[in-house]
Amino acid sequence: MSERETSGRRVVLWMYVTAVAVAGLFGYVLGAIVYGNGGPDGPLVEGPGAQVGSFGPITFELTGPNLALFGVLMVGVSLGVGLLAIRYVSERAESA
């Protein structure tokens, strides 16, 4: 049998996609637990009103789908910026 080589970039890309997907799944599950039945009724809810979160200037109500999107955006942007910085530095180091 021949062994197939996998490039490092492909492995890192799969790890990135997996981390972003897991963040979305966890966000949805957390939103379903805390805000099940369409309103704040979970064990982590404080006060009678709906809680809100923010991503920069954008404010949104904390629900399952919103928390999933928030998790995907935060992890995607955070890891994406870090990975792009690593890629930039590694390309500069190779040319030096």
Domain hosting residue 37, numbered range: 10-43+51-95
Q: Which helix (H) or strand (E) covers residue 61, if one does?
A: strand 58-61
Please tell me the predicted confidence (pLDDT) of residue 44. Answer: 57
Give the mean model confidence (pLDDT) for residues 68-95.
90
Per the structure, how many domains does the chain have?
A: 1
What are the residues whose beta carbons fall under 8 Å from the beta carbon of 94, sequence distance 6 or more? none
**Structure tokens belonging to residue 16:** 């990135």
Per-residue pLDDT tens digits for 8-54: 888 999 999 999 999 999 999 988 887 765 555 555 566 666 677 77
Q: Which pTM value belongs to this model? A: 0.74
The CA-based dihedral angle spanning residues 80, 81, 85, 86, taken in that order and rounded to the nearest 10 degrees: -40
Please tell me the predicted confidence (pLDDT) of residue 77. Answer: 94
The pair phi, psi for residue 43, each rounded to 5°, is -70, -15
Burial 47-72 (b: 16+ CB within 10 A, else e): eeeeeeeeeeeeeeebbbebbbbbbb
In a domain, 88, yes or no: yes
